[in-house]
Every structure is written in C-alpha cells, then in structure tokens.
A and B are shown apart, each in its own frame.
Chain A
Amino acid sequence: MDPLILSRWQFALTTVYHFLFVPLTLGLGWFVAFMQTRYYQTRDETFHKMAKFWGKLFLINFAIGVVTGIVQEFQFGMNWSEYSRFVGDIFGAPLAIEALLAFFMESTFLGIWIFGEGKVPERVHLAAIWLVAIGSNLSALWILLANGWMQHPVGYVIDPTTGHPMLNDFFALATNPKGWLFFAHTLVAGLAMASFLILGVSAYHIARKRSLEVFKRSFQMAAIVGLVAAVLVIIDGDSQGKYVYETQPMKMASIEALWNTEQPASFSVLTIGDLSGKKEVWALTVPDITSLLACNNFSCAVQGVYAIQAQYQQKYGPGDYIPLMVFVYWGFRLMVGVGFLMALLAILFLFAMRKDITKAKWMKWVPWVIVLPYVATTSGWIVTEMGRQPWIVQGLLKVQDAVSPNLTTVDLLISLIGYLLVYGALIVADFYLMKKYAILGPDAAMQESVDAAPAVIGAQD
C-alpha cells in the first residue's frame, strides 16, 4: 500500500476522531461556567447540581480531546514533513500561539477547577471554569486560523529561491476571514452540540421523572441556546458558502455537483443516480438557489467543474483538480439537512415547554437527538477538507507533494493499526463513562470524594 494513501487515512481518522470530542468541550464549558455563575449569584442548589452534573460529563469528554490533540500537533511533522518545510515560515506560528495562549490556560485552570473546590476561594474556582471555556475556544480560534490559511493563504510572499511562502503580514493571517468564519461556525456548532447533549440527557431523566428541577431547567436552557446556536450556525454557514464561492470555486461547484456553468444556477436538493453529470437519473432541483447561496442574488453565474478544471490546468499544469464529489455533495446535504432539523427540533421543544413536558409521551425518544450534532459536524468537516482536494494549501501545494518521503508502508501500518486500537479502546471507555454518569444523575456527581465509589483493593480504609 502506498504510504501517501495510508498517511491520508491516518490523518483523516485521527482528525475526525479528535473532532468528535472537541465541539462538546467548546460548548459545554460555557454552559457549566454559566450554571456555576448562577449558583454563585443565587445560592440556588439546583444550579449547583446542574454545574456539578454537566461538569462531570464535561470532564470525561474533555480528557479525550486533550490526549488526541497531542497527536494532531505532532503529525504535521511526522507524516507531512514536506508540508511542514513548505509552510514552516507561516503555519508553525499559530500552532505555537495556540499552545502558549490556549493550552496552558485551559489545562492549568482545569486543574484548579477539578482540585480546587473548597481549597481555593470560591470566586477563584468560578473564574477557573470561565478561563477553561475561554482557553478551549481560543485554542479553536488559532487552529482554525491555521486551517483557514491552508484553505485561503494570505499575508505571504513566495521566496524566489526556495519557492516557499514567507510570512510578511501576520495581521492578515490573524484576521483571515476564512479562519474567523470557521471559528464562528465552530463556536456556535459547539454550543449546539452541547445543547443537544443536554436536551437528550435531560429528556432521559424527565421521561423517568427523576431530578426534575435539575433537568427541566437544563432542558429549557438548552432548548433556548440550541435554537439560537442552530440559527447562527446556519447564518454563518451561508456566509461561509459565499466566501467559498470567492476563494475556492471548485469546492462550491463540487458541493452542488455542478458540472457545467449555469446562470442563474439552480440548487440540487437530491440526486438519484451518480454524480458524474453524465447519466443523472433524477434530480430534484430548485431554480436560482445556488446563485443565491453563492453571491446573495438570484441571477449570478456559478462556474461549473469543467470550466474550473480547465482553468486550473492552465494555471497549475496538468492534473485532476476535482474532489471526490460523492463525499462533498452528500456530506453537504447531510450537514445542512441535520442543521435545519436541529433548528426545527429546538423550536418544537420550546413550544412543548409551554405545557408540562413531564407528561409528554415522546420524551423518551428525545435522547436520540444527541446523535444529530455529531453527524452534522463530522460531515461538515468532510465537506470542508475533501472539497479542497487535491490541495493541502489552496493553489500552492498538493497533498501528494506534502507527505514525509522517508516513511515506509510498514511504518504507517504500525501507526495506523496502533491508533485504531488505542482510539477504539478510548471511545469504548469514554462512552461507558458518559453513559454511566449521565444515567446516574446529579446526586452521584455531587459526591466528589473518592468514597462515592469505594474500591475493593482499598476496602479496609
């Protein structure tokens, strides 16, 4: 097997896996910080229980995000050394800043938050969880600015001797609209994911009439935040679409499986058959909508794949510049479809709360909504990353030229299988603990000392 293919699979698997845990950390941190603040202000024991209970789930999830994040930072150099050399003057800076600004902050204050309760002043303990939430979101900002640069390189000149991009405007890198649009999308997607986890777990308990004061209030809070977040995700997604059209037209055309340039361009809702553009069996299309998505009016021309492919061949030399359309096209529809479904569900939950939700028969089905944000964020990243193939840095470097030349198939099989085993075991442990503590409810989470779970080896003391 080709080391390049294996490196790509490894990067894809470890990154998708990492991002299963990250958005929940980003969103749930704000919830826990808010709940603890309300407790600090009101001394209302329900808020205390909420902060402790959701805080427990936050911690179980956080741990995996942290340990799999180390892999992310290392594997640019390990598997993509030629990429690292090529972008070294630029890409390392946001990574180093992420570590210095964000990683130190989140990990140090998380330690204070876990171990400091009752040991540090209450205000310090409260500040700690806010700093954890800010720190983890700052980390997202810097890594997305780094990713934004790969999708839309700014603030550089090409060094005439090496041909490598050299940073000449750090401010441009730090204000790259691509990165900020990603960040806004991720921030609210994290809040949406956290909201739907809270909705799902709360519904489980509400359906069983357990700890109602905690879970009704959690449910209400999450329904409101979930709706706002889902709407903001959609709005930001739309802004991103327009920016994709400007900066990565091939990605836009692939999202729509738009082979030929159209003016105005219609939006393809579903396609039955294949996406090759040659033997489409049946497609449901809405006229003019792709033009609206791309340039905010109903009449602009949207370039098709063939036209862009021809342009790129002229500009960058012969080669295939078309992404794997089936993933990009369907990934986009999955993401958008689930996103709208989440907004709709949040509205329904808010309406339902005008009556007594503890009597609602459908409550026992609500836990399944937890799956939705995971589907949306994963398919969203697949669209973003597969949609820019073959580029690792848009217009500057292709993935095939970025891989470490010294790695052998054996090296990669060892690491890929190793990651699969370790990550597989981790997700089993994580799921077991998340489920266990979610079902145990707030009373178990309130018991912080070890004797809540006496171990047999230490039974004598």
Chain B
Amino acid sequence: MSHEFLQVLWFILIAILWVGFYFLEGFDFGVGMLLPFLGKKDMERRAIINAIGATWDGNEVWLLTAGGATFAAFPQWYATMFSGFYLALFLLLVALIIRGIAFEYRSKDANPKWRTTFDWMIAVGSFLAALLLGVAFANLAEGVPINAKMMFTGNLFTLLNPYGLIGGLTTVSVFLLHGANFLGLKLEGELRERVNEFAKKLYFAAIALSLILLVTTYIFTDIYAHLGLNPGIIPVAGLAALFVSGYFINRRHEGWAFIMVAVNIVFTLITFFMILFPRVMISSTDPSYSLTIYNASASAYTLSVMSIVASIFVPIVLIYQGWTYYMFRKRIATKKKSLVY
C-alpha cells in the first residue's frame, strides 16, 4: 500500500472515530444537559442517568481513540491542535472529569445536597464539553493562525470568534435534541411524556441554529471554493434529515426521530471532514502553512502497522459495543427495585 493511500485511509478512519464519538457521546451529552431540568425527583434523575449509565464510558472511549489515532497517524496534527487549543482543551478535560466522576459518585451518598451538586456537575460538564467541541470544530473548518513551523499563534480568544460560537451553540442544541430523542426511546411513563415535550421545543432551536451555521459556513469557511455552491448530497441530506425529524417528533415516532437526528449529526460531521480534506488544520495566516494529511502524517511503516491493528480490533470493538446496547435495550422504569447504581 502506498503512503498516500494510507494517509487517505487514516484520514477516513479518524473521521469515522469522530463521527462515532459525536453520534454516541452526542446523546450522552444531551442527556447530561437535560438531567436537572427533566428529572424533578431523585428517582427520576436516577432513571435518566441509568438510560446511559452502562454505556456512556464506552462511548467516551471513542474520543480517546480518536486522540490516540491522531497522535499515531498524524503526529503533527495532534501536536499543533492539542498545544494550540490548550486552554479550550483544558476546560474540556475539566468538563469531562467532573461529569465522569459525577455519574459514578452521585448516588453513593444520600445527602440531597451531595446529589444535587453532582447532578449539576453532570449538566454543566456535558454542556461545556459539547460547547467546546463545537467551538473547536468550527475553528478547524474556519482556519486558525498557524505559522510556517506548524505552530498555533493565537490564544483562547482567537477561538471564541462568532463562527466558533455558532458552531458551539449548534452542537449544544443538536446534542440536546439527540439526547431528548434517546431518552424518548429509553424512558417510560410520565418521564417519557415530558421528554417528548422537551424534544418539540428543542427541535426549533436546533433547526434555527443549524440554518445559521449553514449560512455562516459559506461566509467564514472556504466551502464555496473547496466544494462549490452545491456541496453535494451529504450536507443537504443531513439538513433535510433534521427537518424531517420534526415530523416524527410530533407524530411521536421516537425511533425515526432518533434516526433522523443521528443522520443529521453523522452527515454534518462528514461535511466537516469534506471541507477539511486533504487539510487537517487550515492556516488562516497563509494557506501554504496548513497541515495536510501529507505533511502531518506518520511514516508508511507506522501507518501500515496501525492499519493491521485497526482492521483486527475495530470490528471486535464494534461487535461488543453494539451487543451492549442490545443487552440494555429495555426501557427504564422509574421504580426503586429496578434501578441499580
């Protein structure tokens, strides 16, 4: 296999890891943000957490694998992005830490203050993580100041520009809707009714922000030069799926509503990687300073080794993770006896 083929292959593989992460952890973040607003009683909150309890940690590993794979396949990308987005990633880490620990610790003490504190840590951590990921990805599409030595020359406020913030808020709103749809599939009784009402409202926020993102993407990124006015079927289908989800949400076809928003997330992410390709970090200082899959990658030998490892273990992981969802497919009742922690 030629080096160039491997570089393209690994770009696609990393894209798949991020798509998987956004799809899976997207609803976890949504569920986390909804937790204190949707669950009024302790038992309800426990039921909401249990909807993702067995699987959120496995979903988060998609992020770690994306990070590790980026290091292995495109070390220059990993080095520039992680050092460049330093404070944003620090905040992301804090968000993931407080959220992760709160899932495990919130029910281990009966003090209501203890529980409320951890519930809000879940909500704030999920919100902050979703927002920061959106900001980071929007900036990647828009381009950030990078000099000839592949070094990021901005700071945290460089990232907090209008398009970055629109990316962040859109991600938050779509994840909220995704989470609400997921809970619609997992909960029952009064909570299920309540979350369906939430979904109807969240739908409009997601639509509005996604349209703003669409327009601003043509203003702030080079999508027009890169992909043309008609960007192809994938972005269009992605947005269309979000619109269609409204129909299913109103009709209470929870499964289809979930699938449509999932399609929106997956296709939007694919569009993002289409805007990037073959670049991995666009330099706003000078396009020729951009990192690409060609100047940022590991050697052909390392990519070959990693390809062999990935081709064996990715299918295994997909099988047992998929099987976990099958195992825990039942709806969760808000009853004491059935709720473990």
Real complex partners, A and B? yes
Enumerate chain A interface residues (CB-CB to B < 8 A).
Answer: 59-60, 62-64, 66-68, 70-71, 73-74, 76-79, 81-82, 84-85, 87-93, 95-101, 103-105, 107-112, 114-117, 119-120, 166-168, 170, 404-407, 411, 414-415, 418, 422, 426, 429, 433, 436-437, 448-451, 453-458, 460-461
Q: Does the CB pair B79–A77 fall under 8 Å?
A: yes
Q: Which of B169-223 contact A (CB under 8 A)?
A: none
CA–CA, A100 and B320, complex, Å: 13
Q: Chain B interface mostly helix, strand, loop or mixed?
A: helix
Q: Top 5 nearest A-B pairs by Cβ distance?
A: A88-B75, A77-B82, A458-B42, A92-B71, A92-B72
Which among A76, A99, A117 has the greatest number of chain B C-beta atoms within 10 A?
A99
With contacts A418-B90, A418-B94 known, is A448 near B71, CB below 8 A? Answer: no
Q: Is B1 an interface residue (CB 8 A)?
A: no
Q: Which residue on chain B has the smallest CB distance to residue A159?
A: B299
Closest Cβ of chain B to A381, distance in Å, is 21
Enumerate chain B interface residues (CB-CB to A < 8 A).
Answer: 41-46, 50, 53-58, 60-61, 63-65, 67-73, 75-76, 78-84, 86-87, 89-90, 93-94, 96-98, 100-101, 103-105, 107-112, 115-116, 150-153, 155, 298-299, 301-302, 305-306, 309-310, 313-314, 317, 320-321, 324, 327-328, 330, 334, 336-341
With contacts A112-B324, A453-B110 known, is A406 near B151, CB below 8 A? Answer: yes
Q: Which residue on chain A has the smallest CB distance to residue B335?
A: A461
Q: Which residue on chain A has the smallest CB distance to residue B94?
A: A422
Q: Does the CB pair B42–A451 fall under 8 Å?
A: no
Q: Which residue on chain B has the smallest CB distance to residue A64?
A: B101
Residues of B with C-beta under 8 A to A429: 101, 105
Q: Does the CB pair B87–A411 fall under 8 Å?
A: yes
Q: Does the CB pair B87–A73 fall under 8 Å?
A: no
CA–CA, A59 and B107, complex, Å: 13
CA–CA, A99 and B65, complex, Å: 5
What 12 additional pairs, Cβ within 8 angstroms, besides A60-B104, A96-B73? A63-B105, A77-B82, A78-B82, A78-B90, A97-B68, A108-B321, A115-B54, A415-B86, A415-B87, A422-B97, A449-B338, A461-B43
Contact with B98, one of A84, A90, A119, A422 (Cβ below 8 angstroms): A422
Q: Which residue on chain B has the smallest CB distance to residue A460?
A: B41
Residues of A with C-beta under 8 A to B328: 115-116, 119
Contact with A67, one of B79, B97, B151, B330 (Cβ below 8 angstroms): B97
Closest Cβ of chain A to B282, distance in Å, is 17
Contact with A89, one of B60, B75, B80 (Cβ below 8 angstroms): B75
Q: Does the CB pair A77–B98 fall under 8 Å?
A: no
Q: Which residue on chain B has the smallest CB distance to residue A415?
A: B90
CA–CA, A155 and B54, complex, Å: 40
With contacts A63-B100, A85-B76, A450-B46 known, is A74 near B93, CB below 8 A? Answer: yes
Q: Does the CB pair A84–B340 fall under 8 Å?
A: no
Q: Does the CB pair B82–A81 fall under 8 Å?
A: yes
24 contacts between A and B (CB under 8 A): A60-B105, A63-B104, A66-B100, A67-B97, A73-B64, A73-B68, A84-B75, A89-B75, A89-B299, A91-B71, A96-B73, A99-B65, A100-B313, A108-B58, A108-B317, A110-B57, A111-B56, A112-B324, A120-B327, A450-B43, A450-B341, A458-B41, A461-B334, A461-B336
Closest Cβ of chain A to B65, distance in Å, is 4
Q: Does the CB pair B339–A100 fall under 8 Å?
A: no
Residues of B with C-beta under 8 A to A91: 71
Q: Which residue on chain A has the smallest CB distance to residue B298?
A: A89
Closest Cβ of chain B to A441, distance in Å, is 15
Q: Does the CB pair A433–B109 fall under 8 Å?
A: yes
Residues of A with C-beta under 8 A to B152: 406
Closest Cβ of chain A to B243, distance in Å, is 34
Closest Cβ of chain A to B147, distance in Å, is 9
Residues of A with C-beta under 8 A to B63: 70
With contacts A96-B72, A117-B340, A458-B43 known, is A426 near B57, CB below 8 A? Answer: no
Residues of A with C-beta under 8 A to B321: 104, 108
CA–CA, A85 and B298, complex, Å: 10
Q: Does the CB pair A167–B81 fall under 8 Å?
A: no
Q: Does the CB pair A107–B94 fall under 8 Å?
A: no
Closest Cβ of chain B to A438, distance in Å, is 13
Q: Does the CB pair B301–A455 fall under 8 Å?
A: no
Q: Which residue on chain A has the smallest CB distance to residue B90?
A: A415
CA–CA, A364 and B89, complex, Å: 46
Residues of A with C-beta under 8 A to B65: 96, 99-100, 103-104
Q: Which residue on chain B has the smallest CB distance to residue A432?
A: B109
CA–CA, A448 and B198, complex, Å: 31
Closest Cβ of chain B to A351, distance in Å, is 37
Contact with B116, one of A74, A109, A457 (Cβ below 8 angstroms): A457
Residues of A with C-beta under 8 A to B305: 93, 167, 170
Residues of A with C-beta under 8 A to B313: 100-101
Residues of B with C-beta under 8 A to A120: 327
